[in-house]
Structure 1
């Protein structure tokens, strides 16, 4: 059965399953996810966001077709059949252009949705929850639903023209900020059941009035706040008792599950509880690139300690210089004095350094690090000191890329077990 269409039936019979949504454009993260899929024989859901990938290239420089081609190339090289990769588009809506008028931003969003569908993306998250120029930051449910329907109509037209399989949709008005919050969070309340029901019913009415009843019938999930979030420096953990009321809608709508955003940094036990409680789609992104960055910086220190001609943490220095020179991706998210913002640039849980890894200066610094350590025998004490848990990589010539992939796979293991994939 289609893995996405099997989520709701499994929940109804008391055998909840989930799926991990890997929201990243970094090739090593995608490779780790695909390698995990091959090793444990499960499908891989990979999602691109509207800021990462769009018809203008996004911050990665990739259009939807480029992202899909890159991912399929990695899948082929790892031995994962193309039909085992599911492509999703995340936060597809006017977000990248919200500084422009609503009409301009929505027109661009329509083109973006069409580009995703034409490329071969099937899981489409319609997110028109944000206000555009001159509008409130948060819009009312009816406006959001009308804009979502407008995007769905364009998506349906693109799918029909391309002869694509029927699209599967995700909606939701209480959408956490992409990439996590930018402040310390003491607590966060789950969405109220009446608010979820209102969102669902308004979308149903608007879609049916627009002649999109068929599209509405293929909405498989709704985004709500289960009470999990992460900021720059802390994580709010899942408290299932506070979210039990949300099961009410799922009992009423048998074909529906919840999609949980910002599940990064939750414990494996909390992730499993989320799946059991109906949050069948677990989205993760910044945690994976945080762990990748952590491994890269560990290798940077190891190379500095081992190799006389490598220098003192040149990868760290290169990333600091790059982020100071081009602050657009972190400046509005990090707070405090100069020293505090310097720490956040590199170590924030929101991991906005991920926006910079595809920059030529960053690529060159990473390539130099990998070349410097490739084939070297790293003493176990150095790995224990700077990369505890990776001592198995000592005693034989080091493959730095494999170590980096292993760092990401380690994070994915908790997700895989939580969603019922062994």
Structure 2
């Protein structure tokens, strides 16, 4: 089964907790703090594996969680950083934040990597909080939580040439005779249910990758038929080979077919019409094909090169392949990706290095309690060890520094009111 679109959950590893410890060595009665820092949590990294050609594996595993860092240890020893979790994906995979739609990565080359979720920082041990005023702090941090998010993976087939056209016009047959690909071929519509790739080599030893894309029909761009599921795969092709049934045996007009398919491509993405397009007049061994071809040439004009062939008898196929190879030589591999790549890079930078949002939202529960929420305050809460009084006092100072006390007063909080933050409840005290 060909799977080209999935949604998965990724969770980077939490940081290890810092340790509160003191030196207890002989002749060192006042040895001081010696609690080490926790290790960093593991990142979740997606890496291209050119041996994969589908997202099928993600149908059976939809959760990916990296390991957390090791906790700090006595004698100032640092906990071990966790190794990243490497997730293999096929070349041509784009990764987006499922909630916001922001592009995170576009992976096309073998071994190319992208960090999808960053691991949490390790918490600091009490050796890091010692100063001249507090030489024996009983204070340490818990590790920061790792990033977690749902991501949407889309696979766009990496091919130089894309075969498009109505169902049963001979796309699969053409691919089967010019490459070693063995697509299913039958005399009914929608025989091809998934893209097929084949490596094509011309007689003068030029080669390129050709993709047979499932048949489009009118309205495909809006979700009608099967073609809409695979329109995205045309985006990466440099040349579009438009296969048309010139025999007209099914009662369709070749020119109307040509106009309809091009309109679907334009409706999907206006940039598709910038691709060089070669028209293949197939089934020229059938009656009436010659007359239909003459009329078709008059209607189309000289804008597109037209190659009459018969995929069954292989007449005209050699000239077609030479023309495709010649066209590809004139087009740099990244010509149609430059603008998109610059935009994607900019989006990735904005997404990955965005500063923490210090905004704090205050709402009321049905029981009258004030509920606090916000990225920064929730992260500080998770990194606080509430088993130690000194850590609790530090958390209270951080709350005041963020302006939480003043914000609660403005919302009408009074002495003794319940304040709720995640699973923790405490009283508001003036």
Q: Same fold (TM over 0.5)?
A: no
Question: Aligning the two structures, in what range does the TM-score lie when normalised by the shorter sequence?
Answer: under 0.3
More helix by share: 1
Q: TM-score, normalising length from structure 1?
A: 0.25
Q: Which has the higher contact order (CA 8 A, sep 6+)?
A: 1
* Larger CA Rg, structure 1 vs 2: 2
Using structure 2 for the length normalisation, give the TM-score.
0.24
